[in-house]
Amino acid sequence: MSHKYVYEFSEGDGSMRNLLGGKGANLAEMTGLGMPVPQGFCITTEACTRYYTDGEQIGDDIRDQIVAYIGRLEEMTGKKFGDPDNPLLVSVRSGSRASMPGMMDTILNLGLNPTVVDAFAKKTGNPRFVYDSYRRFIQMYSDVVMEVGKAYFEELIDEMKEHRGVTDDLELTADDLKELSEQFKAEYKAKIGSEFPTDPIEQLFGAIKAVFRSWDNPRAVYYRRLNDIPSDWGTAVNVQSMVFGNLGDTSGTGVAFSRNPATGDKGLYGEFLMNAQGEDVVAGIRTPLTIDQLKQQNPAVYDEFQAIVDKLEDHYRDMQDMEFTIEEGKLFMLQTRNGKRTAAAAFKIACDLVDEGQISTEQAVKMIDPKQIDALLHPQFDAAELAAATPIGKGLPASPGAACGQVSFTAEDAAAKGKRGEDVVLVRLETTPEDIEGMHYAKGILTARGGMTSHAAVVARGMGTCCVSGLGDIGFPPGGTSFTLGGVTYNEGDWISLDGSTGNVYGVAIKTVPAEIGGYFGRIMEWADEFRTMKVRTNADSPTDAAQAREFGAEGIGLCRTEHMFFEADRIAAIREMIVSKTPEQREAALAKLLPMQRGDFEGIYEAMEGYPVTIRLLDPPLHEFLPHDEDDIVALAGEMNIAADELHSVIDSLHEFNPMMGHRGCRLDVTYPEIGAMQTRAIIEAAINVQKRHPEWHVVPEIMIPLVGEVKELAFVKKIVTDTADALIAEAGVDLKYLVGTMIEIPRAAITADEIASEAEFFSFGTNDLTQMTFGFSRDDAGKFLDAYYEKKIYESDPFARLDQTGVGKLVELAVDLGRQARPDIKLGICGEHGGDPSSIEFCQKVGLNYVSCSPFRVPIARLAAAQSALANR
């Protein structure tokens, strides 16, 4: 027998979701449960995949099966395609494995043609209904199958209404609708050049192809990228005999949720319209009634519906989102699925289902999308105000939340206004470490350049500040006091709003509402922790961030980027002095000024982490990042250092690098200037000794991390600086302090030689930001400019800086894990690149056996939940 590509609803069940798609599997399941489902069949997702591999064709074998199943449907319903006396009419709908609401296409009333319409009008005695169905079909078919576009059809309807002097579609008569259908067909012919198809089989295959094609429409592709849905899943197509909600006043159609999708409250929630088809409820042309009103209008149908809803909830043990139609008083179920819900509702529903004895805590943990947690931890826009606003541009959703403030173009200005309590949004071409204070005081950050691991993105996520990055359409006219976007100029002080969860930018002020974490959140997170096997640490550079991360449940610091501490106003002078020093003595003098500051920082961080492990990385960025660029700053620094401005200029020039990311940074700094590593080690160890003394009950074990290692000998060289310094200090203090020395694996060579590296390193932390950058060979700051073209052309499906590329970069990680463990079986393994907070990447980390993931404080809860789900999936 040839491969089976078509299943009748009664041949499938709910477990066949991958093959039948969500909608098809649920229609099959409802059929099995004896619910009133209009009969039909499902063309599998495999048929969709074949459609693409066959060069966008439906193969003959699949075609034959579809035709045979139409025959079976005709037998089952006693109706026939194209039969004027008793015509079979069908709906054709998409349905993929993961629900993608509104992303793909639907066609209703398929099978109508002039002969059928005339006979059917006579037979039903309801010509208005028949012509209404016909004009809807022509409209949908033209739009979806032939891509003619809907707008002109809508204009024709408006003209007709005007002509007749009516305002409501329902006031158009059968004759009006008949005339409209003729106008629609003429429009079709004008656009397509051929007559509107009359053969139902031709119509059917046109519609099936259109659904397959819609799997690849731009909005579906974008939705898949946002939701990590692979393109090779494909969509199934459901062909279902029509039932009609527009047969008159005893017919109707509606949608309902078994619980409130906004709040999670139990109870039917939904709306319906009498004498209408589904699209009328969604399209908002007529105002639907609430589902309670159905109880008054038609108590019998309401009770039957309520009983079905209860049964479906009990069956699926989750909140259901259902579509139904009432045809002349008889109820039909057209769809059920687990309903989409807000983050707050998701947590409440999961807890309620546990309390109702419907699900276990394990199932509750599994049913929440970790990405939804963001919305609970960050401010959001007021829903009504957001709905009324139109975006003026869209960048990358770099750091979630909502921000509203007055435009500010410099970090100094943003900091000054922020300190006065004003709400500002910092708008920059890109941010640099120097902008840190302004970023801190800004409500939101908008940049024209930079990807998901650019400075702006990483720092904003760390702070929990909303950020939209890489909005390349922004223009900066000379003068520095305005930007342009979408043809409009925005000046300093103008109000704008950013949505860091979608990347949308609005040219108006939109009210924000604060985050609300309820008790449900805490319960779910506690359950998650019971199932989790990987630890979750945080990337934090300050005691404040560390304390925030502890509140969110971080179990240590996986990455403390020490350079971020150097940019504070009172430190930058000392670090600049250190950089421009000509002799080791000068450098040591400058470092001596930095030592107490660093030691204080580390003490604060150890205190905030209350004895949990803390990984501190030695200085990493290219030195020139610290140097002043403005002439005024240069003159001031030269004065402070007692050198001529010209001399300072020449030092700055000498530090220029053509490719700083691949230049003099990371452990290379310690190879050239060992004093830097020695000073930092001293600060780390002395701080640990001090804190351990203050808290004998804690077990302070600093983990000193050497960045950007590619060769074991360079690691050994820098490690010796660290151990010589640390051992001497510990001996001098006469204490028993343990510490670890490890490295980041962020250069491909380090991954490939991980066994050698592990002979020196007591732990590895995968720096997947740089590892991605260097494996792909494209810049983490600039890739945003061309990645869109790669998504469009389907070369990449997602941003490798946001979601770990498991095939390439992941292979290096796996290799390094294996080699590392071979050389040092008890080696500690973690990840501290941005991927450490991304659920799909976390699942990968679980699979390869990392001990922990580390991410920015606001992503800690996401990581806890994702790690629990990964552990459950890998059981």
Q: What residues act catalytically?
A: 455, 832
Instruction: Write the burial class of residue 507 (CB in 10 Å: 0-12 exposed, 13-18 middle, 19+ buried).
Output: middle
- Could you tell me how many residues of this chain bind Mg ion (CB under 5 A)? 3
Compute how many other C-beta atoms are within 10 angstroms of the C-beta atom of residue 627.
21
What residue number has its CB nearest to Mg ion?
770
Contact status: 833 vs ligand PEP (CB under 6 A): yes
What is the number of residues in the chain?
875
Q: What is the 3-state secondary structure (H, E, C) of 17-65?
A: HHHHHHHHHHHHHHHHCCCCCCCEEEECHHHHHHHHHCCCCCCHHHHHH
Task: Draw the binding track, 555-574, toward ligand PEP (x: CB under 6 A; -: no contact).
Answer: ----x-x-------------
Q: Are strands 6-8 and 740-745 parallel, antiparallel or unpaired?
A: unpaired
**Candidate segments 93-101, 346-354, 651-659, 761-769, binder of ligand PEP by CB under 6 A:** 761-769
Beta carbon of residue 208, minimum distance to ligand PEP (angstroms, whole number): 46
Query: 3-state class of 593 per DSSP?
Result: helix
768 binds, among ligand PEP, Mg ion, none (CB under 5 to 8 A by kind): ligand PEP
Contacts 24+ apart (CB under 8 A), 8-13: 8/39, 8/40, 8/41, 8/42, 8/69, 8/72, 8/73, 9/37, 9/39, 9/40, 9/41, 9/42, 9/240, 10/39, 12/42
Q: Which of residues 429-468 bind ligand PEP (CB under 6 A)?
A: 458
DSSP class of residue 562?
A: G
Q: Which residue has the tokens 């499902």?
A: 42
- CB closer to Mg ion, 274 vs 708: 708
Q: What is the 3-state secondary structure (H, E, C) of 734-756?
A: CCCCCCEEEEEECCHHHHHCHHH
Distance CA 571, CA 840 (A): 39
Kindly tell me which residue out of 413, 770, 781, 799 binds ligand PEP, with binding defined by CB under 6 A.
770
Distance CA 331, CA 324 (A): 7
Instruction: Write the burial class of residue 209 (CB in 10 Å: 0-12 exposed, 13-18 middle, 19+ buried).
Output: middle
Beta carbon of residue 831, minimum distance to Mg ion (angstroms, whole number): 12
- CB closer to ligand PEP, 686 vs 714: 714
Beta carbon of residue 621, minimum distance to ligand PEP (angstroms, whole number): 8
Which DSSP string corresponds to 640-709? Answer: HHTS-HHHHHHHHHHT--SSGGGSS-THHHHHH-HHHHHHHHHHHHHHHHHHHHH-TTS---EEEEE-S-
- CB closer to ligand PEP, 47 vs 815: 815
Task: Draw the binding track, 758-797, toward Mg ion (x: CB under 5 A; -: no contact).
Answer: ---------x--x---------------------------
417 binds, among Mg ion, ligand PEP, none (CB under 5 to 8 A by kind): none
- Could you tell me how many residues of this chain bind ligand PEP (CB under 6 A)? 11
Kindly tell me which residue out of 110, 221, 832, 862 binds ligand PEP, with binding defined by CB under 6 A.
832
571 alpha-carbon distance from chain centroid: 37
Q: Which of residues 721-750 bind Mg ion (CB under 5 A)?
A: 746
Contact status: 706 vs ligand PEP (CB under 6 A): no
Which DSSP string corresponds to 268-316? Answer: EEEEEEES--HHHHHHTSSPPEEHHHHHHH-HHHHHHHHHHHHHHHHHH
Q: Are strands 320-327 and 828-831 parallel, antiparallel or unpaired?
A: unpaired
Contact status: 136 vs ligand PEP (CB under 6 A): no
CB 243 within 8 A of CB 97: no
- CB closer to ligand PEP, 323 vs 770: 770
> What residues form DSSP beta bridges with 37?
none
Contact status: 746 vs ligand PEP (CB under 6 A): yes
Distance CA 710, CA 321 (A): 53
833 binds, among Mg ion, ligand PEP, none (CB under 5 to 8 A by kind): ligand PEP
- CB closer to ligand PEP, 87 vs 748: 748
- CB closer to ligand PEP, 490 vs 766: 766
Contact status: 374 vs ligand PEP (CB under 6 A): no
Distance CA 599, CA 405 (A): 36
Beta carbon of residue 768, minimum distance to ligand PEP (angstroms, whole number): 5
- CB closer to Mg ion, 178 vs 668: 668
Beta carbon of residue 69, minimum distance to Mg ion (angstroms, whole number): 56
Kindly tell me which residue out of 44, 769, 798, 846 binds ligand PEP, with binding defined by CB under 6 A.
769
Beta carbon of residue 556, minimum distance to ligand PEP (angstroms, whole number): 15
- CB closer to ligand PEP, 465 vs 769: 769
832 binds, among Mg ion, ligand PEP, none (CB under 5 to 8 A by kind): ligand PEP
Kindly tell me which residue out of 352, 413, 620, 670 binds ligand PEP, with binding defined by CB under 6 A.
620
Beta carbon of residue 188, minimum distance to ligand PEP (angstroms, whole number): 55
- CB closer to ligand PEP, 251 vs 615: 615
**Candidate segments 507-515, 751-759, 768-776, 837-845, binder of ligand PEP by CB under 6 A:** 768-776
For residue 468, give every residue at least 6 positions away whose Cβ sits within 8 Å of its Cβ, in sequence order, or none: 395, 396, 397, 398, 444, 445, 446, 447, 498, 499, 500, 503, 504, 505
Contact positions vs Mg ion (CB under 5 A) = 746, 767, 770
Which residues would be at the binding site for ligand PEP (CB under 6 A)? 458, 559, 561, 620, 746, 767-770, 832-833
